[in-house]
A and B are shown apart, each in its own frame.
Chain A
Amino acid sequence: MRNLSSRLSRWLISGPPLLYLLIFFAAPTLIMVFAAFRIPGDYGGLLPLLQTDDAGKTEVLINAGNWHDFITFENFGRFFEDSIYAELFLKSFWYAGITTLICIVLAYPLAWLIARSNKKTRDLLVLLVILPFWSNFLIRVYAWMIILGPQSYFSVALNHLLALVGIEPVSLLFSQFAVIIGLVYVHLPFMVLPLYANLEKHDMALLDAAQDLGANAWQRFWRITWPLSLPGVWAGTALVFIPALGMFAIPDLLGGTNSIMIGNLIKQQFLDSRDWPFGSVLSIMLTLSVLLMAAIAGWAGRSKKERA
C-alpha cells in the first residue's frame, strides 16, 4: 500500500512535465527524423501519406507495394553528392572555432580578475558579465549593425587610419569579420563563467612556489595556470561552440551572401524553398555535429582532469 502510494506520487510529480516534453520536444524531434526520409510535397512540406476525400473518408495512400514512392534515402544522398553542403558545414565549423578561440582569449583576463578579487567585488564583476547576456539577443546583434555601418564613427575612423597607410577603404558590415564579431559578442559570457569557476579553485601557492624557483610570468602561466584551467576552457568551449554552430540570425543580419552558415541553409529549406525532407537532413547533420563536439569537449575536459 505504502509502495503503491509512493509510486503514485512519483508519477503525479514527474508525470506532467514528462508528458509535456514528450509531446512538445520528443515527438517533434522524432517526426523531424522521420521527415528526413520522406519526399517533398507538391506545394512544399511533405508528400502526404493519407488522403481525405470530399466525403470526409480518409484513405491511406502508402502500402507494402508502393512504400518506396513515399520513403527514400535520396535526401541523404543529395547531402553527400554535392560538396557544397560539406563545405558549408566546414565553414560553419571554422566560424564557430574562431569564435571559440577569440572568446578564450578575451575571457581569460576577465575570468582571472574575477577569480582573484575579494568576495564582494567578485559578485559585482560576475553580475556585470551576465547583464548584457540577458538583454535581448537581437538588440545585441543590431548594436553591431550600427557600429559596423558605413557611416558609423568606428568605420569612418578606421578608414581614415587605413587611408594614412595607403589602404583602400573597407566595408565592415555584411562580411565574415562582422559575423565573427557578432558571434563572439553574443557568446562571450558562456566562456567567462565556467573559466572563472575553474580559476577560482586554483591554489595560489603553486604560482608563488614557481616564482620562488625563478619562473617568469609567462612560464608560470603556460606551465601552471593554463594546464590547470583546461577543464574550464573545455566546458566554455562546449557552451560557445555548440550554439555558435547552429546560429542563423547573426549571419543573416551581419553577414553577406557568402558568409552564411548551416543555420541559414536550414532556415531556407524550411521557410523559402519549403523542402522539409532536405531541411530535416541538414538538421540531423547539425545534431550529429553538436553531439560529436559535446563528446569531444566532455572527453578532453575529463581526461585532462584525471591527468592533473
Chain B
Amino acid sequence: MKVSRWVWGAAIVVYAFLYLPLAIVVAFSFNDSALNAEWVGFTLDWYRLLFRDDVMIEAATHTLLIGFVTCVVATVLGTLAGYAMYKYRLRLLPVLVLTPIAIPEILMGVSLLIFFVMLNMTLGLVSITLSHIAFCIGFVAIVVRSRLQGMDESLVEAARDLGASPITAFRRITLPLIMPGIIAGALMAFTLSIDDFVISFFTAGVGSNTLPLEIYSRVKVPVKLNPEVNAVSTLLMLLTLSLILIVSKVAPSALRAGD
C-alpha cells in the first residue's frame, strides 16, 4: 500500500520539529551577537571564549574522566550481568539490572544522595562515578544479552565437543562473537555518562561540576547572556554524534532499544 501524501507531509513536519531546535543552537553558536534572538553575522568568538574559560574546561575534564571510568567498569559488570542473564535462570539480578532503567531518574538520584551522605562520603567525582556505573550496567547488559540471543549456540557446543574447556570456548568463540555488542554497550555507557544531568545533579558536591551541570547553572539564570553555552552544546553534540555513528557501524541493532 502506498504511503499517502498527507502522511509524508506530517512526517516531514515532525522531523523538522525534532531537528530545528538543535539546528538553532548550532547556528547561534556562530552568531556574532550575544543575544539568542537575531542572526547578525558569522563569528568564532564564542569558541575562542570557550577555550579560555577555565571553569568550563575543568567541567569538561571532570565529564570525560567520569565517563571514562564509568565506561570501563560498567562495561565489565554489564557484560557479566548480560551473560549471566542469558545463561542462567536468575530472579534477583534481572530486577536489579532493569529497574534503574525503568524508573524516573530522580528516584535513583535522591536515594543515592541519602546513601552517600549517611555513609559520610564527601559528594564529588567519586560519588558521581559510582552512581553513573549503577545506571549504566543495565544498558550494557541489555545490549550484550540481545547479542547473545542472536548467537548460534551450536558453535560453542561444537567447540566443547572438540575438547575445548568452557573457558577456552568462551574466550575463543563466545567473546569474539559478542564483541560488537560489548563495544556498542561501552560506547552507550560512555555517552549516557557524559550526557547525564539528573543523577549527577543530586550526587555532585562543591567543585565537582560536570559539563551538563555547568550548562544548567548558566542557563538557569535567563537574564545572563551565555553565548558560550551554544558553542559548548555544539561541541558536545558533535562528540555524541560521532560516538553514535561508531555504534551504528559496529552494531546497528544495539541502537534499537525500543524494539
Chain A residues near B (Cβ < 8 Å): 9-10, 13-14, 16-18, 20-22, 24-29, 31-32, 35, 45-46, 106-107, 109-110, 112-113, 116-117, 123, 126-132, 134-140, 142-147, 149, 151-153, 173, 185, 188-190, 192-194, 196-197, 204, 207-208, 217, 239, 242-243, 245-249, 252-253, 263, 266-267, 270-271, 276, 279-280, 283, 286-287, 290, 294
8 contacts between A and B (CB under 8 A): A9-B166, A13-B83, A18-B93, A31-B111, A138-B216, A149-B222, A185-B21, A276-B114
In the complex with contacts A32-B110, A131-B244, A151-B35, A138-B212 CB distance below 8 A: yes
Across the interface, B198 reaches (CB within 8 A) one of A107, A173, A248, namely: A248
Interface residues of B in 10-66 (CB under 8 A from A): 10-11, 14-15, 17-19, 21-22, 24-25, 28, 35-38
Across the interface, B114 reaches (CB within 8 A) one of A35, A153, A190, A208, namely: A35
Q: When the two chains form their complex, are residues A17 and B93 in contact, meaning their CB atoms are under 8 A apart?
A: yes
Closest 5 CB pairs of A and B: A246-B104, A193-B258, A143-B21, A14-B84, A109-B10
In the complex with contacts A32-B110, A146-B28, A22-B258 CB distance below 8 A: no
Chain B residues near A (Cβ < 8 Å): 1, 3-4, 6-8, 10-11, 14-15, 17-19, 21-22, 24-25, 28, 35-38, 76-78, 80-81, 83-84, 87-88, 90, 92-93, 96-97, 99-100, 102-108, 110-115, 117-118, 130-131, 133-134, 137, 141, 166, 191, 195, 197-198, 201-202, 212, 215-216, 219-220, 222, 229, 233, 236-237, 240-241, 244, 248, 252, 255-259
What separation, in Å, do the CA atoms of A20 and B138 have in the docked complex?
Answer: 12
Q: When the two chains form their complex, are residues A263 and B106 in contact, meaning their CB atoms are under 8 A apart?
A: yes
Q: When the two chains form their complex, are residues B240 and A129 in contact, meaning their CB atoms are under 8 A apart?
A: no
Name the A residues within 8 Å of B3 (CB-CB): 112-113, 116-117
Q: When the two chains form their complex, are residues B114 and A21 in contact, meaning their CB atoms are under 8 A apart?
A: no
Q: When the two chains form their complex, are residues B137 and A20 in contact, meaning their CB atoms are under 8 A apart?
A: yes
Q: When the two chains form their complex, are residues A136 and B237 in contact, meaning their CB atoms are under 8 A apart?
A: yes
Across the interface, A16 reaches (CB within 8 A) one of B77, B96, B141, namely: B77
Residue of B nearest to A239 (CB): B258
What separation, in Å, do the CA atoms of A46 and B198 have in the docked complex?
Answer: 23
Residue of B nearest to A108 (CB): B10
In the complex with contacts A31-B111, A243-B105, A25-B96 CB distance below 8 A: yes
What separation, in Å, do the CA atoms of A130 and B114 have in the docked complex?
Answer: 34
**Given pairs A26-B96, A146-B24, A253-B220, 4 additional interface contacts (CB within 8 A):** A18-B81, A27-B115, A136-B236, A145-B222
Q: When the two chains form their complex, are residues A197 and B21 in contact, meaning their CB atoms are under 8 A apart?
A: no
A-B contact count (CB 8 A): 247
What separation, in Å, do the CA atoms of A173 and B222 have in the docked complex?
Answer: 10
**In the complex, which of the residues A28, A193, A197, A204 has the most CB atoms of chain B within 10 Å of its own CB atom?**
A28
CB distance from B41 to the nearest CB of A (A): 16
Name the B residues within 8 Å of A271 (CB-CB): 202
Q: When the two chains form their complex, are residues A113 and B7 in contact, meaning their CB atoms are under 8 A apart?
A: yes
Name the B residues within 8 Å of A138 (CB-CB): 197, 212, 215-216, 219
Across the interface, A247 reaches (CB within 8 A) one of B37, B104, B259, namely: B104
CB distance from B73 to the nearest CB of A (A): 8
Q: When the two chains form their complex, are residues B130 and A14 in contact, meaning their CB atoms are under 8 A apart?
A: no
Q: When the two chains form their complex, are residues B97 and A17 in contact, meaning their CB atoms are under 8 A apart?
A: yes
What separation, in Å, do the CA atoms of A235 and B36 have in the docked complex?
Answer: 38
Q: When the two chains form their complex, are residues A242 and B80 in contact, meaning their CB atoms are under 8 A apart?
A: no
Q: When the two chains form their complex, are residues B24 and A143 in contact, meaning their CB atoms are under 8 A apart?
A: yes
Q: When the two chains form their complex, are residues B233 and A139 in contact, meaning their CB atoms are under 8 A apart?
A: yes
Residue of B nearest to A207 (CB): B1
